[in-house]
Structure 1
Amino acid sequence: MRELALQQTVCSWYVVYTYPHYEKRILNQSKKIGIHCFLPTKKVVKQWSDRRKIVDEPLFPNYVFVYVEEQARFRLLDITGVSRYVAFDGKPVVVSEEEMNTIKKLMIEPEVTVERELQSGSKVLITEGPFIGIEGVIFQKKGKTRFGVRIPVLNHSISVEIPASSFSRI
């Protein structure tokens, strides 16, 4: 009986698919009902006819990461703007702690870029700097060395520019 109680309190990371431009609203509403969320953002300069402004935009449009118990995840579907959970074979996909930590580490870099298709390159391990210990692919883009990590649940990759001295080939 005690084991069952312990299993019910285990939280996992899931990804919800949202309506366009609802990511921040969902983040705020989920906090109000006690569900922890993570919304990776990037700073973008927006130009209007009368001004320029730096705004935070979601790194992965239409996606929000949620950390919730299995039974409580259905409460999130009541929030306006949540379309569904990202699922495979009808079951919501669980994102590993390792993948979440990698995304959070890469968010330190202000010039993080989302890549639809990760270019082919050598597998490497970062050996120094803020991304130490992360495995990924090194490739060239516009004459610069970039480090990319694939996020399988979203079918996207994230890449950052890094110095050539901070990695070793695997």
Structure 2
Amino acid sequence: MNWYVVYTKPKWEKKVSDKLNQLGIECYCPLVTRIRQWSDRKKKVEMPLFNSYVFVRLQDSDRNQIFQASGIVRYLFWLGKPAIVRDDEIEIIKKSLASDSVYDVLISPHQKGDRIKLDSGVFNNQNAIVQEVSKTYYIVVLESLGCVLKIKYK
């Protein structure tokens, strides 16, 4: 069984995940807790880590079953085929969200476009490309996951 990426309607990630679970389809919608400010209060809100994306795990022959759930637009494609996410990449996402720890990452001076290997934290041993450099942070793209990290430094 493979993990596939499903594109959903905007703000439908949690609803789609619930509906897929009801249908007996294994899915994963990574959520993060954020504090949102309204004019009269602050509130902790669970928000999807990836907007409009849900991961589903099923056999290739069962791919059309997901369209029984409302809110699903289509599969995400890569090179003309449905994008497949490796099990270890899903585990990295789960591990990083489960960890409350803040890691110190030693970064030597880099320039935009440099290839680096992270040497600590949840993304240890992951290759990345430096996308942006400022006075207080780096923005790097993890090659295997295709996600962007903002790394602050002093």
| TM-score interval (norm. to shorter) | 0.7 to 0.9
Separation (CA, whole Å) in 1 of partners of 2:115 and 2:83? 25
Superposition deviation, residue 72 in structure 1: 2.0
Letter in 1 for 2:133: Q
Q: For 1:109-124, list aligned pairs within 5 A.
A: 120-124=112-116
User: How many residues are paired up?
Assistant: 144
Partner of 2:47: 57
**Aligned residue for 1:3?**
none
Amino acid at match of 1:121: G
Q: TM-score with structure 1 length normalisation? A: 0.68
Q: Percent identity?
A: 31
Query: Following superposition of structure 1 onto structure 2, how do residues 80-159 of structure 1 map, counting pairs within 5 Å?
Result: 80-88=70-78, 90-107=80-97, 108=99, 120-138=112-130, 140-141=133-134, 143-150=136-143, 157-159=147-149
Is 1:14–1:65's contact at 8 Å kept on the other side of the alignment?
Answer: yes
Unaligned residue ranges in structure 2 (runs of 5+): 103-110
Mapped partners of 1:58, 1:151: distance in 2: 20
- The letter of the residue matching 1:37 is C
1:137 Cα deviation (Å)?
2.5
Shift of residue 148 of structure 1? Answer: 3.1
CA gap of 1:81–1:141, structure 2 versus 1, over 3 A, is farther
Offset from partner CA, 1:104-157 (integer Å, 9 cap, x none): 34434689xxxxxxx9332222223332222213453452245431467xxx63
Q: SS in structure 2 opposite 1:136?
A: strand
Match of 1:18 in 2: 8
1:74 to 47, 64, 81: 64
Note the C-alpha offset of 1:97.
2.9
Change beyond 3 A, Cα 1:95–1:157: same
